[in-house]
Chains A and B, each alone.
Chain A
Amino acid sequence: MTLARHVGAAIAAAAVIWALSVALNSFRDYQIADIAVYVVAIAGLTVLIGLSGQISLGNGAFMAIGAYATALLQMHLGWPLWALFPASAAIAAVAGVAVGAAAARLHGPYLAGATLLLAVALPSFATQFPGVFGGDQGLPVTVTAPAALGATFPPTRWLAWVNAGIALIVLVLLANLARSRVGRSWRAIRDDEAAAALAGLNVARLRVLAFVVSAACAGLAGSMLAVYASQVSPGSFTVTLSIALLTGAVIGGLGSLAGALWGSLVIVLVPTYVMDVATSHGLSSTVAANIPVAAYGVVLIAVMLLFPAGIQGGVRRFFGLTPPTAAGPFARLNSLRRRPPASEHQEEGTT
């Protein structure tokens, strides 16, 4: 039943997106494709943080893995588009197993630090091995709309369809996963690891699994980014990207898939909109160029002050909805705060 409802909602959303992609201009189609990339990446991260209670500042690196996998598989093996997406997600998932295995032993700031290391270090592989990864210039990715759509079919609309379609599939899968036994187990270990272990849950394995799901989503998003930008290069996967994903998840509302969408909209639309406004008001270019960054910060502060549970939390409050679970996505920030071993705090208190 739940599956049917999720699929039904996704089909309704698909119809809306289809209508929008036809009605709006080519650039808006392009932005839809861009938003879809962030939806997938942030949805994967919000599941990791919100449900399993782990943090990752390194999902930008998993995106890089997926993106380069896409470019290399297309360049050397000539794989078709439909095969590139699952393959890239699978390759990133394998990387997620490796990182997750290490990460499952770490908590709180240590986990954040370890994953941050990944985000900083991984993109420089591309410049260290320019023969394979194309150095700073990266690798090209070619995407053409199927000939059946006609010669005059706008290529950006095809991009919007592909990326939005994938995003909806991912949202349905994640929504079901979150409601499944695995999702419940994640919440259990998030809220109290010891209690979950006593109840017979394999805490380490569940933590690694959350990492793998998150990495697979990031890899898929990276693959979508490569297709959307028709190239991959290390400049796209700086540490700023990983931070932006985390920001999107927090702004949208941790643990909420709808929140992933809100976060993506903020990340993609706010800078372009603000830049347009700034330049149309005749601000000097150096000032205007920095206004999107400032606006981003203002939005972040405003959301945290007004809706500590993110935009989705605000929406729920506005419509008078209660949080979906007893613990709720709001408790998740607190649960993160609880992570460092209590003994440390005591030591700090006594010295």
Chain B
Amino acid sequence: MNKPHRVRAFAIAAAAVAAAMIAAGCSSSSSPSSSSGAATASAPGITAHQILIGSHQPLTGPAAPGYSEIAPASNAYFQYVNAHGGIYGRKIKYTYLDDGYDPSKTVSDVHQLILQDNVYAIFDGLGTPTHLAAVSFINSSKVPDVFVASGCDCWNNPSKYPETFGWQLDYIREGKILGAYIKKHFAGKKIGYFYQNDEFGQDGVKGLDYEIPSSQVVSRQTYVPTNVNVGPAVAALKASGAQVVVSFAIPAFNALFKLTSLKLGFSPTLVASNVGTDPLTLGGLLEAYAKQAGATVNGNQLTNGIITDGYLPTLGNTGNSWIALFKKVHDTYDAKAPFDGNVLYGMAVGYTFVQAMMKAGKNPTRADLVKAINAGLPQGPAVAPYAYSSSDHSGVTGAYIGTIMNGALVQQGPVYVTDTSPTGPVTTYAGSEQAAPATGMP
């Protein structure tokens, strides 16, 4: 008796599909088509007046604290460039979409950027698991995938991913530099590892193991970012009698490690990867977590003495020309954000992109950008040169060792450089750091 209604309901469903899809179609036709335009539109995403680039960033979700400052900082530097003549007269437009650190959302974001927005390049896509999910599609679309915001060694694979380039110091090099320091300064001491159980932590440990004698390593503990209970790992490290703990962990887990060891009366020397030790972020997290547990701690006090490394000038070094430049850009275009390590990172990687675009030529195709980076880039804000060549797509090759004091990273000693091979030596960098150009433009 109610048959007609059911059929009608189903027909409405079919009509609804049609209506909704047509609506979706209409909104797509109104979006600007950047591939057609003036005669100097040399590639998709490039018009006579604009270069459109895109990115996926964790603006919400678990990785957002700290990391969500990076893309706005890059954009602030691009605005500075746009206000100072742009790149051969073109202004950079930077579209970054939120992926919430969810790899399937990353895939969908990257499809939107490449298929719909028609970006010239993917720039600074953030995260190892997230970017890994999208890297094949980007490469098969022949879109430059420049300066991935992750130190995974996986971006350095020119035969498989010819379009992809790393940027920051990769975790293997970082592990080797930290490992060489530990070998020299903590000879004979018992060493424990605490690391994230994925490419990030595993690459770091690979580098550490190349340098630290295995007889010295008494315990290897891992964590996964989805489980905040690090108690068992810390207890195992304590039981092993480790005097030095090396950590390849994100800021939240360094904070958890520190607070849990405090609770267990365990106070090893902490040596930690650069990605997890931005003093402002880490200090803030320590205070926030302690407060949740009903305790009051002083973040700066707890981070004091953590040994880490840095591949960009230290923020406290106000005399440094790069810090002065980026502080100026920050104060003009990104003043609401704190001037911390994440902002410095975003500006420095933005600078590198402008360097590469200047080198790619006046009317570059997508291939021209890749060719320009394959031919090498001059050293920019980083303290060591880039490795870029047609057979090497990793970025910064070295770092200095530093200690956190009163909430700021203080450089200790020279800059070290190395490669990603098991036997390549860690050497003191003989070259000098570059000064920022007076114009602030590459």
Q: Given that A24-B25, A235-B101 are known contacts, is A262 also in contact with B16, CB under 8 Å in the complex? A: yes
Q: Given that A25-B115, A315-B12 are known contacts, is A16 also in contact with B17, CB under 8 Å in the complex? A: yes
Chain B residues lying within 8 Å of A288, measured Cβ to Cβ, are 59
Tell yes or no: B423 within 8 A of A by CB. Answer: no
Residue in A235, A238, A325 whose CB lies within 8 Å of B129: A235
Chain A residues lying within 8 Å of B21, measured Cβ to Cβ, are 16-17, 20, 24, 28, 32
Structural contact, B27 and A273, CB atoms closer than 8 A: yes
Question: Among A79-87, A134-142, A185-193, which stretch is in contact with chain B?
Answer: A134-142
Measured CB to CB, the closest approach of chain B to A81, in angstroms, equals 17
Tell yes or no: A339 within 8 A of B by CB. Answer: no
Structural contact, A319 and B12, CB atoms closer than 8 A: yes
Complex Cα gap A324–B13 (Å): 14
Structural contact, A256 and B9, CB atoms closer than 8 A: yes
Structural contact, B24 and A321, CB atoms closer than 8 A: no
Name the residue among B24, B136, B336 with the largest chain A CB count within 10 angstroms. B24
Chain B residues lying within 8 Å of A319, measured Cβ to Cβ, are 12
Residue interface mask B333-349, A partner, CB < 8 A = 1: 00010000000000000
Measured CB to CB, the closest approach of chain A to B308, in angstroms, equals 23
Structural contact, B96 and A285, CB atoms closer than 8 A: yes
Structural contact, A236 and B24, CB atoms closer than 8 A: no
Residue interface mask A113-141, B partner, CB < 8 A = 1: 00000000001100110100001111010
Among residues 46 to 73 in chain B, which have CB atoms less than 8 Å away from a CB atom of chain A? 57, 59-60, 68, 71-72
Dominant SS among interface residues on chain B: helix
Measured CB to CB, the closest approach of chain B to A68, in angstroms, equals 13
Question: Among A200-208, A223-231, A330-338, A343-351, which stretch is in contact with chain B?
Answer: A223-231
Structural contact, A27 and B111, CB atoms closer than 8 A: yes
Complex Cα gap A136–B71 (Å): 23
Complex Cα gap A325–B9 (Å): 12
Query: For residue A135, which residue of chain B has the nearest CB?
Result: B198
Measured CB to CB, the closest approach of chain B to A292, in angstroms, equals 8
Complex Cα gap A292–B6 (Å): 34
Structural contact, B129 and A233, CB atoms closer than 8 A: yes
Measured CB to CB, the closest approach of chain A to B94, in angstroms, equals 10
Measured CB to CB, the closest approach of chain B to A287, in angstroms, equals 10
Among residues 291 to 315 in chain A, which have CB atoms less than 8 Å away from a CB atom of chain B? 292-293, 312, 315
Question: Among B206-214, B220-228, B354-362, B402-410, which stretch is in contact with chain A?
Answer: B220-228
Residue interface mask B14-30, A partner, CB < 8 A = 1: 10111011101101100
Tell yes or no: A257 within 8 A of B by CB. Answer: yes
Structural contact, A27 and B28, CB atoms closer than 8 A: yes
Query: For residue A171, which residue of chain B has the nearest CB?
Result: B13
Structural contact, A229 and B7, CB atoms closer than 8 A: no
Structural contact, A272 and B112, CB atoms closer than 8 A: yes
Residue in A261, A321, A322 whose CB lies within 8 Å of B17: A261
Structural contact, A30 and B103, CB atoms closer than 8 A: no
Complex Cα gap A273–B11 (Å): 26
Measured CB to CB, the closest approach of chain B to A21, in angstroms, equals 9
Q: Given that A130-B197, A269-B20 are known contacts, is A13 also in contact with B28, CB under 8 Å in the complex? A: no
Chain A residues lying within 8 Å of B336, measured Cβ to Cβ, are 284
Query: For residue A17, which residue of chain B has the nearest CB?
Result: B17
Question: Among A1-9, A69-77, A211-219, which stretch is in contact with chain B?
Answer: A1-9
Structural contact, B10 and A9, CB atoms closer than 8 A: yes
Complex Cα gap A30–B137 (Å): 13
Chain B interface category by residue count: 35 or more
Structural contact, A16 and B14, CB atoms closer than 8 A: yes
Complex Cα gap A234–B3 (Å): 43
Structural contact, A2 and B199, CB atoms closer than 8 A: no
Complex Cα gap A286–B16 (Å): 34
Structural contact, B20 and A30, CB atoms closer than 8 A: no
Structural contact, A284 and B28, CB atoms closer than 8 A: no
Structural contact, A321 and B133, CB atoms closer than 8 A: no
Residue in B59, B97, B226 whose CB lies within 8 Å of A286: B59
Residue in B2, B102, B197 whose CB lies within 8 Å of A324: B2
Complex Cα gap A105–B282 (Å): 47
Tell yes or no: B5 within 8 A of A by CB. Answer: yes
Q: When A and B form their complex, what is the total count of cross-chain residue pairs whose Cβ atoms lie within 8 Å?
A: 180
Tell yes or no: A180 within 8 A of B by CB. Answer: no
Among residues 303 to 335 in chain B, which have CB atoms less than 8 Å away from a CB atom of chain A? none
Residue interface mask B79-120, A partner, CB < 8 A = 1: 000000000000000011110011111011001100110000
Tell yes or no: B8 within 8 A of A by CB. Answer: yes
Measured CB to CB, the closest approach of chain B to A80, in angstroms, equals 20
Complex Cα gap A319–B57 (Å): 43
Structural contact, B2 and A325, CB atoms closer than 8 A: yes
Structural contact, A27 and B116, CB atoms closer than 8 A: yes
Structural contact, B129 and A137, CB atoms closer than 8 A: yes
Residue interface mask B177-218, A partner, CB < 8 A = 1: 000000000000000000001110000000000000000000
Tell yes or no: A258 within 8 A of B by CB. Answer: yes
Structural contact, B14 and A236, CB atoms closer than 8 A: no
Complex Cα gap A36–B14 (Å): 13
Tell yes or no: A275 within 8 A of B by CB. Answer: yes
Chain A residues lying within 8 Å of B108, measured Cβ to Cβ, are 30, 34, 229
Structural contact, A156 and B103, CB atoms closer than 8 A: no
Structural contact, A135 and B197, CB atoms closer than 8 A: yes
Complex Cα gap A236–B17 (Å): 25
Structural contact, B224 and A233, CB atoms closer than 8 A: no
Name the residue among B16, B22, B104, B226 with the largest chain A CB count within 10 angstroms. B104
Complex Cα gap A257–B8 (Å): 12
Chain A residues lying within 8 Å of B227, measured Cβ to Cβ, are 124, 127
Measured CB to CB, the closest approach of chain A to B28, in angstroms, equals 6
Tell yes or no: B441 within 8 A of A by CB. Answer: no
Structural contact, A30 and B111, CB atoms closer than 8 A: yes
Q: Given that A26-B115, A179-B6, A235-B102 are known contacts, is A136 also in contact with B224, CB under 8 Å in the complex? A: yes
Structural contact, B14 and A289, CB atoms closer than 8 A: no
Q: Given that A20-B21, A127-B226, A230-B136 are known contacts, is A236 also in contact with B16, CB under 8 Å in the complex? A: no
Complex Cα gap A269–B108 (Å): 12
Measured CB to CB, the closest approach of chain A to B190, in angstroms, equals 27
Query: For residue B103, which residue of chain A has the nearest CB?
Result: A233
Tell yes or no: B277 within 8 A of A by CB. Answer: no
Tell yes or no: B230 within 8 A of A by CB. Answer: no
Binding site for A on B (CB under 8 A): 2-3, 5-14, 16-18, 20-22, 24-25, 27-28, 57, 59-60, 68, 71-72, 75, 95-98, 101-105, 107-108, 111-112, 115-116, 128-130, 132-133, 136-137, 197-199, 224-227, 336
What are 10 A-to-B residue pairs whose CB atoms are below 8 Å?
A20-B21, A20-B25, A28-B28, A34-B108, A136-B198, A140-B136, A235-B102, A236-B102, A292-B98, A316-B9
The 10 closest A-B pairs by CB, nearest first: A289-B59, A27-B116, A258-B13, A236-B104, A27-B115, A26-B115, A13-B14, A127-B224, A229-B104, A289-B98
* Besides the known contacts A135-B197, A231-B107, A258-B10, 15 further A-B residue pairs in the complex with CB atoms under 8 A apart: A6-B10, A13-B17, A23-B25, A24-B21, A127-B227, A135-B224, A136-B225, A156-B115, A225-B104, A229-B104, A230-B107, A236-B105, A265-B20, A319-B12, A322-B5
